[in-house]
Structure 1
Amino acid sequence: MSALQDLIPTVNKLQDIVTNTNLTDLDLPILTVIGSQSAGKSSVLENIVGKDFLPRGTGIVTRRPLILQLINIKEDDPLVHKSDFEADQDHSEVTLEDHLRNAGASQVEPAEWGEFLHLPGKRFYNFNNIRKEIENETSRIAGKNKGISRIPINLKIYSPKVLNLTMVDLPGLTKIPIGDQPTDIEKQIKNLILEYISKPNSIILAVSPANVDLVNSESLKLARQVDPLGKRTIGILSKLDLMDHGTNALDILTGKVYPLKLGFIGVVNRSQQDISVNKSLEESLRAEEEFFRSHPAYKNIAGRCGTAFLAKTLNKTLMHHIRERLPDIKAKLNTLMGQTEQELASYGDLNIVSKQNRGSLILMLMNKFANNFISSIEGNSSEISTKELCGGARIYYIYNEVFGNSLLSINPVSNLPVQDIRTAIRNSTGPRPSLFVPELAFDLLVKPQIKLLESPSHRCVELVYEELMKICHNCGSQELSRYPKLQTKLIETVSELLRERLGPTTKYVESLIEIHRAYINTNHPNFVGAAAAMSSVVEERQKQKQKQKSKDHARSPNGSVPLENGTSSHKVSDAGSRAEELRELERKSSNTSTSGDKELFLNFFFGKDQSQNSSSPPSQPQPSQFPSEPDGLQFNIPSQSPIEKKMEHLNMKEEEELSEREELECELIRRLIISYFSIVREMIQDQVPKAIMCLLVNFSKESVQNTLVQKLYREELFDELLYEDENLSQEREKCEKLLATYREAAAIISEVV
């Protein structure tokens, strides 16, 4: 039995550890006292202790959980005569009789006192001062406006008159806020009570007044929520002496009304009048015993009622509950110790860094960082994300999806209107009419279009560079996080390496574009060529004319459909080859060259259309457009020159419709540009990723380790690089204390298990 008696002090020690270290993971067996306001909770606790020490008053008096540890101690225990503490006695309350009695007797240390966990080394021999300290400590944390707090007050009471018990007194349940109480005071109190009674290791002491119908008991209602089978609930019926005459609670006490596995126990508390007249607890306990012994309904069960029986039952119940739960607590402690040891190992050993091994430690961390960088690019990292593309896979995505789609989205002639193509053709012929489409016009037009590939290529380089920077910032490890300055230096060094390679890579990609613009290779095997392009253009135009002819024939009465230039449709029906089409176009163009030398000179000088319709007469010059002299131009032009007006007319002519030959020429140039641009685009799509891999990605992978060693492996930098993070040091210290606490708790349990 002595081993059983040691269980409660063992749990008390664990409870102190839990409170001091704020351990929420360790659920210890405890007696939890709940009940409505004025149900008699405080009186029950004081009867068990045998002392008046709890605050009293109206409204919510208990506003913080009170963890009450009752410790049975013998009068000759060495702890009684311990001298290294601060005593607290209120001599003003000592009567003259007590003073004379104490003065004549030998000084004997009292064997009953209280100690608060928040005031270590101080004993309260006067229990009135314990009440005052509870009130002051409650106000200090919970304030003075009747609010509540979850932070508990720990009180130990040493006495030879008590049994070993550990109980927690919780605020009384209330319905309506009074005075300065918060409006949600009922919800706050219920949540606080549920926090304690929901734990499986908690034994619930549900205090209910006997003079109120049991179905209205708020304490039993809450207990049933967390303990529906009543396996760990003890019912306490208070105020049995206040029931109406002729009524009794025998059926409740015998378990016929509300069955509980641990049963109901009836008690009689001191009345308010008893408290007012300072009736001692000893007298009250004797009166309670006499009440049950003499009561006609309770005399048969008097041995199972009263405060003395309640204390013994609680002691026995708690000991057996502790014995059942202690193996689980020990297993839980072992699990917590293992988790804490792993966490502490992740912070690293503080004692491994010395002057002798600083260099090897830095080299090891550098190699780890470099290997993580390389592994992330190659896809060999052990910490590959499953949520998004990263590392080498992201670079591959940039090459094939982002860069490839951006190149394919470029329309090589979207920014090249037909008017610009016609102007380029005209400008490339100079002052002479062209027999064929000039090749220089194609060169002039295709080179700016190739320049369109430069912007996506630049963006591809930037995206790969950004991804490499992201990889660099994610190459840290838990061990490296101990040294934030070293990690920062490693990231800065690799970032500087990447920035140095960004410039040469970008320039080389630009040079690829310039190389393709420098020489237009029309002999490329995939180039469509002028002859093939012309054949396809002529063939398409013939098909369009045939369709138009069919439509016009259906509308014309005689079936003869004239063309736009006045020539009948049968004149171009035999144009099946490029040469025949060009000769036809030349012949049409020559119709406009029959005018006089002056008109021909003006047409070329002002850029007039040389392929005007032969059916329409040449436009006659207006007096406002030409000089009045018929024989030539007047070169001494006044300020209001007709030539200036003619230049305006020239700009307007640029917006006129194209002739059939110009349409053919523009369409031919357009198709040649598209064909050649596609060739260059395909080569750029292949060459740019190769250049980036060679000059930026692979170069960085191959040189990252050497660069880190060259720039950071210096003895004068070792102290700075191995400066440990203060937050990490605090976390390690906290983890070490937590592990020491777990080990201390495990050692306490091992004494009895």
Structure 2
Amino acid sequence: MDNVIDLVNKIQDVFSTIGVGGNDSLDLPQIITVGSQSAGKSSVLENIVQRDFLPRGSGIVTRRPLVLQLVTLPPASTEEDYGEFLHVPTKRFYDFGEIRQEIEHDTTRIAGTNKGISRQPIHLKIYSKRVLNLTMVDLPGLTKIPIGDQPADIEKQIRSLVLDYISKPNSIILAVSPANTDIANSDSLKLARKVDPAGKRTIGVVTKLDLMDAGTNALDVLTGRAFPLKLGFVGLVNRSQQDILTNKSMDDAIKTEQEFFVRHAAYKGIAARCGSTYLAKQLNSILVAHIRDKLPDMRSKLSAMIGQTQHELAQYGDPAFIGSAHKGSLVLKMLTMFATQFTASIDGTSPEISTKELSGGARIYFIFNNIFGHALDAIIPCSNITNDDIRTAIRNSTGPRCSLFVPELAFDLLVRPQIRLLESPSLRCVDMAFQELSKICHTCGTKELMRFPKLHSKLIDVVSDLLHERLGPTSTYVKSLIDLECAYINTNHPDFPGATGAMQELEKTRNKSRKKQQNDHLKVNGTSTTNTTNTAATTMDLKRRNERSSSITSSTSMNGPNGPTLPGSSPSKDSFLNYFFGGASRTDRPNLGPNEKSLHHTNPITSLTNDIEGELESHFANNFTLESGEDFFAQSSDKEDMEVELIRTLIISYFNIVRKTIQDLVPKAIMHLLVNFTRESVQNRLVSELYREDLFNDLLLEDSAVAAERTRCKAMLDMYRKAFAIISESI
């Protein structure tokens, strides 16, 4: 049965040799010794080994984990007891004093001289006829306050190190506590309970029982009444400092220990279950049973690790294929592998799809659907156009004429800049899709491909050049989509409402607004005084306009349809001259009689013409020097206001039509000209650029770090297979 311990030791040795701790990768069953400083951990180990081999002194002495493997020599062996260090594989230490010195020397070499700790373990194997097969790990003692030049967080460092070891499910915790302190305050038992609350894999050791105050004992603890543990407690009596100074032999020390328990009134009933000899046997049987219990799980885990390591090793490639006879096929294989992975990342068929974040083609879809779509939706048409801008465009487009209908030229003039607002987010969409493809390119590459850094770099360069080649035509085409929309404003589009539809919508909106205003006025004390005044003013204004219109109409009917008829002139001609120039000049007029003069001066058309001339002269005298940017529309007419609202409504309607078109066409253009073109031509481009015999030697220069990693991986695989075979034979 002890062969299973030897099996674990061999696995641990090999794992440590190749730089991988067995406790990290396979969680090998082993006994972890935990206790505070001066709890007697070192004495416990020396009593089990029955040799003085551990450093002693004040403060922290054990500053690195010590992996101690005890191997029983055959009874017929004539060889003396000796020790071997994993870091000194060619030397056997027969002098255990030298073993102590080597531990101190290697601790200083790794952990320094400032009493700090290191996680790198020391591996020591002791061969002796007096030991039972065991694998134990001695850890630095738990401390509270840094001493001397120890790091300020030394307590936190040691607790973290201890927890890393005892948290592993396959470890057995050997919790050492001194009997001359309250067991309820034992640091080792507190940590053990933290990771093993049920106490199933913790064995307690109570040291220094001979130093307890007279009349007291630890019987309740040793029998499990005070602190129950499934594996129980074992009591020990350590060698005193005087015994160490006088070099008292281990045989005498163990005999003295047994006599103490047999003669002690409280402990003589449990003397057979106390002492270092019993502890060694108990640990051996516990470890053997624990290993045998864990062997099936270890076998299953090793099987899974073999499969994983085989897969990892395959990714590093076979070095045999770097030979001259296979270089061409290897390069072609790498090119195909890279192109396939690039295409699979875009299509979403890659076997290594991330479950944590969007990747590959999914990110391009997100750009189209979310980023680009939201960017277009965020554009508010006409937000940069004021009502005065629209009035100016309307007036400028009509020139000296008065428009009878909505001027189309003003609509064309104003809608094109709004369409141009779509150009920037469209080009930005192209750039973002290009960046995602570049990211996909840089993330492609298996471990086998990473063997050849120059080849991988060249692959990225070729695909990047291809993407840059396609970026220009794609951006140009997308820009041309905006140019096409600006080139022809299609007011016959089936979704465009036209002037009639827009007018109907405006009328509906105005009616709703009027009804709302009326309701609001009625809610506030019926009809207000202000409304009454405004209504009266409006009524008076309409009355004056009607009177004036009636007067003009009446005068026109009295003097003929075309104005007054004057002697010596035709009615139409005279009416025209009177309207614009106030009649003929005095020097050109014939001599008129008194009645004719009276008729001329009382002519209402002439009077109205004089009024218009006076107003024009007054206006131009005051406003002829108006600067650009001054308000021309302080007194805009209702007709102009209606035209402004109508033009704004038409611009928004047409912009929304174009926005939908651009939102549909830009992703299609990017997919056709950039994404699909690249994914379909990437392999041909890679082959044409890199499959050249003169490049093979340079491209297939293997990275030394990858070669070393492949060697390590192969060694691990061999060890896993060997361990699996041994465990399979043992089950």
Question: Taking structure 2 as the reference length, what is the TM-score of the superposition?
Answer: 0.74
Q: 2:615 aligns with which of 612, 619, 641?
A: 619
Quote the Cα distance in structure 2 between the aligned partners of 1:243 and 1:738. 51
Paired position in structure 2 for 1:581: none
Tell me: CA distance 1:460–1:320, structure 2 relative to 1, closer, same or farther (3 Å): same
Paired position in structure 2 for 1:345: 314
Tell me: CA distance 1:455–1:674, structure 2 relative to 1, closer, same or farther (3 Å): closer
Quote the Cα distance in structure 2 between the aligned partners of 1:496 and 1:305. 78
User: In structure 1, the residue corresponding to 2:468 is in which secondary structure?
Assistant: helix
Cα drift, residue 470 of structure 1: 1.4
Tell me: CA distance 1:157–1:597, structure 2 relative to 1, closer, same or farther (3 Å): farther
Cα drift, residue 326 of structure 1: 3.2
The amino acid that maps onto 1:741 is M
Quote the Cα distance in structure 2 between the aligned partners of 1:257 and 1:523. 95
Paired position in structure 1 for 2:556: none
Matched, 1:450 2:404: no
Tell me: CA distance 1:313–1:669, structure 2 relative to 1, closer, same or farther (3 Å): closer
Quote the Cα distance in structure 2 between the aligned partners of 1:246 and 1:682. 95
Paired position in structure 2 for 1:22: 21
Map Cα deviations across residues 174-195 of structure 1 (whole Å, 9 max, x no partner). Answer: 4555444555544544444444
The amino acid that maps onto 2:401 is S
1:360-379 alignment runs, 5 A limit: 360-371=329-340, 373=342
Paired position in structure 2 for 1:11: 8
1:313-392 alignment runs, 5 A limit: 313-371=282-340, 373=342
Q: Is the 8 A contact 1:253 1:264 kept in 2?
A: yes
Which moved further from structure 2: 668-677 or 452-461? 668-677
Q: Is the 8 A contact 1:251 1:257 kept in 2?
A: yes
Cα drift, residue 121 of structure 1: 1.5
Q: Is the 8 A contact 2:414 2:651 kept in 1?
A: no
**Identity score, percent:** 53
Paired position in structure 2 for 1:657: 635
Quote the Cα distance in structure 1 between the aligned partners of 2:414 and 2:172. 87
Q: Is the 8 A contact 1:480 1:487 kept in 2?
A: yes
Q: Is the 8 A contact 2:462 2:686 kept in 1?
A: yes
The amino acid that maps onto 1:163 is L
Paired position in structure 2 for 1:34: 34
Map Cα deviations across residues 706-742 of structure 1 (whole Å, 9 max, x no partner). Answer: 3333333322233344444555444333322322332
1:708-727 alignment runs, 5 A limit: 708-727=686-705
Tell me: CA distance 1:464–1:214, structure 2 relative to 1, closer, same or farther (3 Å): closer
Tell me: CA distance 1:40–1:510, structure 2 relative to 1, closer, same or farther (3 Å): closer
The amino acid that maps onto 2:7 is T
User: In structure 2, the residue corresponding to 1:150 is in which secondary structure?
Assistant: coil
Q: Is the 8 A contact 1:429 1:438 kept in 2?
A: no
Quote the Cα distance in structure 1 between the aligned partners of 2:269 and 2:172. 27
Quote the Cα distance in structure 2 between the aligned partners of 1:126 and 1:35. 28
Cα drift, residue 308 of structure 1: 3.4
Map Cα deviations across residues 288-323 of structure 1 (whole Å, 9 max, x no partner). Answer: 445455556656665554433443343344333333
Q: 1:275 aligns with which of 239, 244, 260?
A: 244
Paired position in structure 2 for 1:594: 580
Quote the Cα distance in structure 2 between the aligned partners of 1:683 and 1:512. 9
Q: Is the 8 A contact 2:40 2:176 kept in 1?
A: yes
Paired position in structure 1 for 2:718: 740
Quote the Cα distance in structure 1 between the aligned partners of 2:209 and 2:538. 124
Paired position in structure 2 for 1:495: 464
Quote the Cα distance in structure 2 between the aligned partners of 1:669 and 1:465. 35
Paired position in structure 2 for 1:562: 541
Q: Is the 8 A contact 2:582 2:609 kept in 1?
A: no
Quote the Cα distance in structure 2 between the aligned partners of 1:743 and 1:565. 112
Question: Taking structure 1 as the reference length, what is the TM-score of the superposition?
Answer: 0.72
User: In structure 1, the residue corresponding to 2:624 is in which secondary structure?
Assistant: helix
Tell me: CA distance 1:564–1:363, structure 2 relative to 1, closer, same or farther (3 Å): farther
User: In structure 2, the residue corresponding to 1:562 is in which secondary structure?
Assistant: helix
Quote the Cα distance in structure 2 between the aligned partners of 1:538 and 1:215. 89
Matched, 1:202 2:206: no
Q: Is the 8 A contact 1:112 1:157 kept in 2?
A: yes
Which moved further from structure 2: 368-377 or 614-623? 614-623
Tell me: CA distance 1:597–1:41, structure 2 relative to 1, closer, same or farther (3 Å): farther
Matched, 1:307 2:276: yes
Tell me: CA distance 1:715–1:282, structure 2 relative to 1, closer, same or farther (3 Å): same
Quote the Cα distance in structure 2 between the aligned partners of 1:329 and 1:214. 35
Which moved further from structure 2: 46-55 or 510-519? 510-519
Quote the Cα distance in structure 2 between the aligned partners of 1:727 and 1:347. 11
Map Cα deviations across residues 670-699 of structure 1 (whole Å, 9 max, x no partner). Answer: 666667666666666666555555544554
User: In structure 2, the residue corresponding to 1:654 is in which secondary structure?
Assistant: coil
Cα drift, residue 340 of structure 1: 1.8
Map Cα deviations across residues 81-122 of structure 1 (whole Å, 9 max, x no partner). Answer: xxxxxxxxxxxxxxxxxxxxxxxxxxxxxx122222222212
Quote the Cα distance in structure 2 between the aligned partners of 1:56 and 1:472. 62
Tell me: CA distance 1:19–1:692, structure 2 relative to 1, closer, same or farther (3 Å): closer
Q: Is the 8 A contact 2:368 2:429 kept in 1?
A: no
1:313-712 alignment runs, 5 A limit: 313-371=282-340, 373=342, 414-417=383-386, 419-420=388-389, 423=392, 433-434=400-401, 436=403, 442-443=408-409, 446-447=412-413, 449-457=415-423, 459-474=425-440, 476-478=444-446, 480-515=449-484, 517-518=486-487, 555=534, 560-562=539-541, 566-567=545-546, 594-595=580-581, 618-619=614-615, 621=617, 625=621, 646-648=624-626, 654-659=632-637, 692=670, 694-712=672-690
Q: Is the 8 A contact 2:434 2:471 kept in 1?
A: no
User: In structure 1, the residue corresponding to 2:125 is in which secondary structure?
Assistant: strand
Paired position in structure 2 for 1:87: none
Paired position in structure 2 for 1:639: none
Map Cα deviations across residues 29-88 of structure 1 (whole Å, 9 max, x no partner). Answer: 33333344444333333333333222222233333332222333258748x4xxxxxxxx
Quote the Cα distance in structure 1 between the aligned partners of 2:663 and 2:9. 76
User: In structure 1, the residue corresponding to 2:25 is in which secondary structure?
Assistant: coil
Cα drift, residue 456 of structure 1: 1.8
Cα drift, residue 368 of structure 1: 4.8
- Higher helix residue share: 2
CA RMSD of aligned residues (A): 4.9
The amino acid that maps onto 1:618 is G
What stretches of structure 2 of length at least 5 have no aligned partner?
Answer: 519-526, 551-575, 586-607
Which moved further from structure 2: 313-322 or 689-698? 689-698
Quote the Cα distance in structure 2 between the aligned partners of 1:409 and 1:418. 22
Cα drift, residue 405 of structure 1: 6.4
What stretches of structure 1 of length at least 5 have no aligned partner?
Answer: 81-110, 572-589, 600-611, 627-644
Quote the Cα distance in structure 2 between the aligned partners of 1:143 and 1:388. 44
